[in-house]
Amino acid sequence: MAPSAMNTTSKSKEQQEIDDWLPITSSRNAKWWYSAFHNVTAMVGAGVLSLPYAMSELGWGPGIAAMLLSWVITLYTLWQMVEMHECVPGKRFDRYHELGQHAFGEKLGLWIVVPQQLIVEVGVCICYMVTGGKSLKKFADVVNPNGPQIRTSFFIVIFASAHFLLSQLPNFNSISLISLAAAVMSLTYSTIAWVASLQHAGARGAGAVVDYSMTASTSAGRTFNFLNALGDVAFAYAGHNVVLEIQATIPSSPDKPSKKPMMRGVYVAYLVVALCYLPVAFVGYYAFGNAVDDNILITLQKPRWLIASANMFVVVHVIGSYQIYAMPVFDMLETFLVKKLRFKPGWPLRLIARSLYVAFTMMVGIAIPFFGGLLGFFGGFAQAPTTYFLPCIMWLCIKKPKRFSRSWCINWICIIVGVLLSVLAPIGALRSIIMNYKSYKFFS
């Protein structure tokens, strides 16, 4: 055998060994229902609890339109990504940035996709670190209201301790049971939220008046709050950043492509999303009007045991969601360390790299415990592009539909809506952050 052939063989074997070790490509035996609960866990995050508050800033008409339109657009763009996963015969685009490179070019694709994907995934992990800690604190305060007041930071550390252990699970399939538990919890606490809200609405007197007017007294304030609420909705519907990575775990062959079982799971997931989002948003707003908090479980006070249980369900869910969003980051990190810096793949590298990432998200969450208040900013700035219109742009580049055809028109409508969302929502969110910064307490 010629030396060049030997080097090629050796390199391809080495490459295969690395791919067999990396978390996204190490296991391809997932079933369609894995897709269902992975997508539920990725999408139905803590953002669902802020939807009644978003409705209070949007009002009934715009709020219902935003919720339903987002559901339709994001289902459509997710379908596009599933279809493009194997748009080249014999090749699978296992990662979001690989599809971006195919659509925009090797270097440009990386620069377009990777920064946005990392902002989303790292941002969501930090948000969930804060959410998990605050939900643990809320659980403790409800169970023992007369107990000592413990700072949120300690609860964030407790929440993070679970992730130092769970982050060592190698790939998506290995966290399937955690993801399933998280998906069940999301449906459970969403149901608790809207049923308890409905009970509250039924218990109020006949003469009770619920105020559905905007909270801001000025037109500028109402406008900025409206834009911030759009960012909250965008954040709630984002799960596309991990969809190709989830599909990569499903086996595929020419006669049985992965897109069929993947879409079966997606349809189930979106049915669950509708069952979670729409009742929580509409019933929560109906029950409390503009008096609702940015977390509906905080507004609900009774019955105590039910609210305490719901907060613990949130903790279980964000544990699974954190792992779903962290796995692609682990994959990027380990790919860079092994392929670029030539570190030897193995458990020591995985232990150090992943533990440092968990520690980083924990420390940022402790330092800035109001990070959850940035939902609207991140929803518009990073989630909207990767969810609402980047898949449409890639579809136009790869599939090249005929100009003014139905597909071409639908994609351009989604692009226009997504671009407006990604430009306007961060403006409202940034203004909200600036207006409230005096009440923020670092390291609280």
CA dihedral 271, 273, 276, 278 (to 10 degrees): -90
Q: Which pLDDT tens digit goes with each residue over 385-422?
A: 888 889 999 999 999 999 999 999 999 999 998 888 88
Q: Is the pLDDT reported for residue 11 higher than 50?
A: no
- How many CB atoms are located within 10 Å of the residue 25 CB? 20
Closest by Cα among 74, 369, 100, 102 to 239: 74
Closest by Cα among 383, 329, 288 to 74: 383
Q: Helices marked H in 94-175 — which ranges?
A: 96-104, 106-143, 152-166
323 compared with 1, residue with greater pLDDT: 323
| Predicted local confidence at residue 378, as pLDDT | 64
| Predicted local confidence at residue 92, as pLDDT | 92
Q: Which of the four pLDDT bands, split at 50, 70 and 90, describes residue 371?
A: low
Q: What's the average model confidence in pLDDT over 186-193?
A: 89
Q: What's the average model confidence in pLDDT over 14-26?
A: 81
| Predicted local confidence at residue 1, as pLDDT | 42
Q: What share of the chain has pLDDT > 90, as a percent?
A: 41
| Predicted local confidence at residue 342, as pLDDT | 85
Q: What's the average model confidence in pLDDT over 157-170?
A: 94
pTM: 0.87
The least confident of 56-70, 101-115, 314-328, 370-384 is: 370-384
| Predicted local confidence at residue 146, as pLDDT | 79
Report CA torsion sign: 374, 375, 379, 380: negative
Q: Which pLDDT tens digit goes with each residue over 311-326?
A: 899 899 999 999 999 9
| Predicted local confidence at residue 443, as pLDDT | 60
| Predicted local confidence at residue 302, as pLDDT | 66
What does the block give as tokens for 399? 């599939």
Q: Which pLDDT tens digit goes with each residue over 234-285?
A: 878 877 888 999 999 999 888 889 999 999 999 999 999 999 899 999 999 9
Q: Is the pLDDT reported for residue 7 higher than 60?
A: no
Q: What's the average model confidence in pLDDT over 274-303?
A: 85
| Predicted local confidence at residue 213, as pLDDT | 82
| Predicted local confidence at residue 376, as pLDDT | 58
Domains and CATH numbers, the chain: 39-439 (1.20.1740.10)
Q: Is the pLDDT reported for residue 2 higher than 80?
A: no
| Predicted local confidence at residue 373, as pLDDT | 55
Q: What's the average model confidence in pLDDT over 196-220?
A: 78
Q: Is the pLDDT reported for residue 329 higher than 90?
A: yes
Mean confidence (pLDDT) of the chain: 85
Q: Which of the four pLDDT bands, split at 50, 70 and 90, describes residue 438?
A: low
Q: What's the average model confidence in pLDDT over 29-58?
A: 86
416 compared with 441, residue with greater pLDDT: 416
| Predicted local confidence at residue 4, as pLDDT | 37
DSSP, residue by residue, 66-96: HHHHHHHHHHHHHHHHHHHTT-STT----SH
Q: Is the pLDDT reported for residue 425 higher than 80?
A: no
Q: Which of the four pLDDT bands, split at 50, 70 and 90, describes residue 354?
A: very high
Q: At residue 26, what is the residue type? A: S
Q: Which helix (H) or strand (E) holds 407?
A: helix 406-436
The least confident of 195-199, 277-281, 360-364 is: 195-199
Rounded Cα–Cα distance for residues 367 and 59 (Å)? 34
Query: What are phi and psi for residue 143, nearest 5 degrees?
Result: -70, -40
CA dihedral 12, 13, 14, 16 (to 10 degrees): 80
The least confident of 60-69, 134-143, 430-439 is: 430-439
